[in-house]
C-alpha cells in the first residue's frame, strides 16, 4: 500500500511538472540506460525523478518516500532467507548406512542439546546463542566428545546458506532430526547470533553427568529453569541414539529402535529388569540380553518418586510425552537468546 501510494503520488506530480526542464532531462537520460538490469535501474531512476517532483510540489515528503521504498523494494544482491530450503538440506543428510544405526539424526539432536544445555539463568550466560562449541575449550570438553561429527556434517549446509548463523543451524538441525525420526513437531524460530571467540565459551561442567543421580539432575536442569516434569521429558531424548566408549565411555543403545523417536525409552526403563554391567568400563546397567543399557542418571528417574510418576505417565501415554518434550525442547533451544522486543 505504501509503495502504491508513492507511485501514484509520484506519477501525479510528474505529470504536473512535465514541462519542468530538469525533470525532462533526468527522464531522458534514464530512458537511454538500456534493457535488463539497466532497464530496472533506469526505472528506479525515473521513479526517483517523479518522487523529486512530488516533493517539489508538496505532494509527498521525499525523506519518508525513500524510507518507504527501502522497505518495499528488495535489496539488490540480498539472499532470500529460505529456511524451508535449509530444512530440506538437513533432511537429505540424515540417512547414512555407514554411520551408527543408519542415521545422523541422534547426533544432531545431541549437538542441539549440548549447545543449548550450558545455559545458566542466574548469570544469563551459555545457551544456544553464540554456537561457542566451535571453539576450544568447549569443543574439547568431555561431554562434547564426538560432536565434531555433527558440526562437520552441517558445514556444507552452512556453506550453501551462508546467511544462517551456526547457532540457528545447529538448533534447527536438532528440531528437523527429531521430526524426521518420527517425533513431535518442534517449535523453532531464527534469531540467534554467533559469537566470535573463546571468551564467550561457558565453563565446563554445566552439562549433565551421566554417572550421577537425581540430585545432580535437578541441579543441572534447575539451573536452566526446568521443573521435574520438563526434566524427565527432556531426558526422554534417550529414546534415540547410543553411547560410545570412545566418547562418553559408556556403550550401547537405550532401546532397540535407536533411530525412531518414541516413548520406548520409558517403557524399557520401567518394565525391563536392569542389572549392573560387568565390564571394565564405568558403572552402567544392562538388561537380561545385554543388548540394552541404562546410565546411572537414567536409573535415578526410576528410583526417585517424583521423577518416577512422569516415567510411568510417558511409558503409557506417548502423546503426553511428545507434547511435553516438544515444549521443553523448544524452551531449551531458546534459553538465553536475546529476542528482539515485540513491536
pLDDT tens-digit readout, 280-326: 999 999 999 999 999 999 999 999 999 999 999 999 999 999 999 99
- What percentage of the chain carries pLDDT values higher than 70? 76
DSSP state letters, 182-248: T-PPPP------B--SGGGPPPTT-S--TTS-HHHHHHHHHHHT--HHHHHHHHGGGGS-EE-TTTT
- What ranges make up the beta strands (E) of 219-310? 242-243, 252-253, 275-276, 285-286, 293-294
Question: How many CB atoms are located within 10 Å of the residue 333 CB?
Answer: 29
Active site residue 244: no
Crossing angle of helices 166-180/83-94, nearest 10°?
A: 60
This prediction has a pTM of 0.78
Among 113, 170, 254, 274, which one carries the catalytic annotation? Answer: 254
Interval 26-51: pLDDT, tens:
334 444 444 444 444 444 444 455 54
Among 52, 113, 114, 170, which one carries the catalytic annotation? Answer: 114
* CA 229 – CA 296 distance, rounded (Å): 19
Query: Who has greater pLDDT, 56 or 127?
Result: 127
pLDDT confidence bin for 341, thresholds 50/70/90: confident
* CA 70 – CA 91 distance, rounded (Å): 35
Asked whether 100 and 242 are in contact (CB, 8 A), the reply is yes
* CA 23 – CA 32 distance, rounded (Å): 15
Active site residue 254: yes
Amino acid at each position: 500500500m505504501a509503495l502504491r501510494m508513492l507511485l501514484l503520488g509520484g506519477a501525479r506530480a510528474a505529470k504536473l511538472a512535465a514541462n519542468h526542464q530538469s525533470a525532462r532531462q533526468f527522464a531522458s537520460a534514464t530512458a537511454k540506460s538500456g534493457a535488463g538490469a539497466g532497464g530496472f535501474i533506469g526505472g528506479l531512476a525515473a521513479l526517483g525523478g517523479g518522487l523529486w517532483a512530488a516533493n517539489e510540489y508538496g505532494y509527498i515528503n521525499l525523506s519518508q518516500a525513500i524510507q518507504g521504498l527501502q522497505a518495499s523494494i528488495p535489496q539488490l544482491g540480498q539472499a532470500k532467507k529460505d529456511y524451508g530450503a535449509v530444512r530440506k538440506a538437513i533432511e537429505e543428510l540424515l540417512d547414512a548406512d555407514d554411520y551408527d544405526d543408519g542415521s545422523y539424526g541422534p547426533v544432531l539432536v545431541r549437538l542441539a542439546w549440548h549447545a543449548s544445555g550450558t545455559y545458566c539463568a542466574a548469570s544469563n550466560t551459555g545457551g544456544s546463542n553464540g554456537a561457542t562449541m566451535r571453539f576450544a575449550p568447549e569443543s574439547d570438553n568431555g561431554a562434547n566428545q564426538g560432536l565434531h561429527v555433527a558440526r562437520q556434517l552441517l558445514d556444507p549446509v552452512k556453506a550453501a546458506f551462508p546467511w544462517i548463523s551456526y547457532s540457528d543451524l545447529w538448533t534447527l538441525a536438532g528440531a528437523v532430526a527429531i521430526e524426521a525420526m518420527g517425533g513431535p513437531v518442534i517449535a523453532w524460530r531464527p534469531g540467534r547470533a554467533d559469537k566470535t571467540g573463546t571468551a564467550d565459551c561457558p565453563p565446563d561442567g554445566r552439562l549433565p553427568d551421566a554417572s550421577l543421580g537425581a540430585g545432580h539432575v535437578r541441579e543441572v536442569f534447575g539451573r536452566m529453569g526446568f521443573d521435574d516434569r520438563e526434566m524427565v521429558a527432556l531426558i526422554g531424548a534417550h529414546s534415540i541414539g547410543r553411547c560410545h566408549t570412545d566418547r562418553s565411555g559408556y556403550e550401547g543403545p537405550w532401546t532397540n529402535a535407536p533411530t525412531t523417536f518414541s516413548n520406548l525409552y520409558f517403557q524399557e526403563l520401567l518394565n525391563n529388569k536392569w542389572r549392573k554391567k560387568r565390564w571394565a568400563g564405568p558403572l552402567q546397567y544392562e538388561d537380561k540380553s545385554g543388548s540394552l543399557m541404562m546410565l546411572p542418571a537414567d536409573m535415578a528417574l526410576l528410583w526417585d518418586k517424583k521423577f518416577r510418576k512422569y516415567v510411568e505417565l510417558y511409558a503409557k501415554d506417548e502423546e503426553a510425552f511428545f507434547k511435553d518434550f516438544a515444549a521443553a525442547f523448544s524452551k531449551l533451544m531458546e534459553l538465553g537468546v536475546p529476542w528482539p522486543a515485540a513491536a
